[in-house]
Structure 1
Amino acid sequence: MKKYLIQKNPFVVPTTDGKLIEEHHGNATTQNGEISIAHMIAPPKWAEPFQTPEFDEYTYIISGKKQFIIEDEIVVLEAGQSIKIDKNTRVQYSNPFDEPCEYIAICTPAFDFNKVHREE
C-alpha cells in the first residue's frame, strides 16, 4: 500500500463568477475532512459575499493582488505574501484590481459549503 497520493486530477469546482477553483485535496477530491488545498485564479473585478466560516483559511498569493475585508479592516496581499484568517471571522474575499490573482487556499478543517456561511 502506497504511503502517498499524487494528485493529478483536481476537482474543478463549478462557478458562475469566472473564478477557477481546483481542489487538490479535501472533501470533494480525497474525502479528507481535515484539510483542503485548492489552487485558484480570481479574475479582475471579482468579489464574493461576506462569509463567517467555521474553518481557518490560509491564503498564499502566487501572482497579482487579493483584497480581504476582515471584520472592518481592508488588507491587500501581493505575490509572495500569505495570511491566516481564524475561523468564525467575518471576511470578504475580492480582486478589485485589473489583473487576475492566482493563489493557493488551505482550509482546516476542509472547506465545506455548509460551514462557510456566506451572506445573501
Structure 2
Amino acid sequence: MSKKKYTIQNTPFVVPTTDGKIINEHFGRATDNNSKISIAHMKAPAGWSEPFQTPEFDEYTFIIRGKKQFIIEGETVVLNAGESIKIEKNTRVQYSNPFTEVCEYIAICTPAFSMDLVNREA
C-alpha cells in the first residue's frame, strides 16, 4: 500500500497561554515537527496585546473576524476582516487587539514559529 500524500489535521496543538489568547497550531514545530512553516488559527480577546518583538521569520496574517492592530517599526496599521499582511523577518513589531471584539485570524510563519526565533522584548 502506498503512503498517503496528504495530512488532515483535526487535532491541532493547543498552545498554552496566560493572556487569554487561543492558539491552535495546525502545522509547525509542536504538531508535526515542521521547522519550515507553521500555520495557526488564533483568537485574540478584546484588550489583548503582547510585547514588541523582532522575529527571525516572515509572518503572514489573514483576519477572519474583528480587527487587529500592528505597530510596525513605529507605524500603526489596523487590519479588518478579509484583509491580510506579510511582515518580513527582522522587523520590529507589536501585535494587539485594543478593540472591543475578539479578533480571529490565521497566522503563517516561515520558517516555523519558535520562541527561540521571536525575540520578544522584556
Shorter-chain TM-score: what band? over 0.9
CA distance in 2, matches of 1:84, 1:30: 24
Q: TM-score scaled by structure 2?
A: 0.98
Structure 2 residue matching 1:28: 3-state secondary structure: helix
CA distance in 1, matches of 2:109, 2:16: 19
**Larger Rg belongs to:** 2
Aligned-partner residue type, residue 36 of structure 2? E
| Residues 6-52 of structure 1 deviation map (CA, whole Å, 9 limit, x = unaligned) | 00100000000000000000000010000000000000000000000
- Equivalence for 1:85: 87
CA distance in 2, matches of 1:116, 1:12: 18
| Residues 64-96 of structure 1 deviation map (CA, whole Å, 9 limit, x = unaligned) | 000000001000000000000000000000000
CA distance in 2, matches of 1:12, 1:94: 20
Shift of 1:105: 0.1
CA distance in 2, matches of 1:108, 1:52: 14
2:56 to 54, 61, 66: 54
Q: Which stretches of structure 1, 4 residues or more, deviate above 4 A after TM superposition? A: none
Aligned-partner residue type, residue 107 of structure 1? C
Between Structure 1 and Structure 2, which shows a larger proportion of helix residues?
A: 2
Aligned-partner residue type, residue 72 of structure 1? G
- Equivalence for 1:37: 39
Root-mean-square deviation (CA, aligned residues, Å) is 0.3
State the percentage of identical aligned residues: 74
Aligned-partner residue type, residue 111 of structure 2? P
Residue 29 of structure 2 is aligned to residue 24 of structure 1: no
- Equivalence for 2:100: 98
1:73 to 62, 72, 75: 75
Shift of 1:108: 0.2
CA distance in 2, matches of 1:42, 1:14: 13
CA distance in 2, matches of 1:44, 1:116: 23
CA distance in 1, matches of 2:121, 2:81: 28
Q: Which runs of 5+ in 1 are unaligned?
A: none
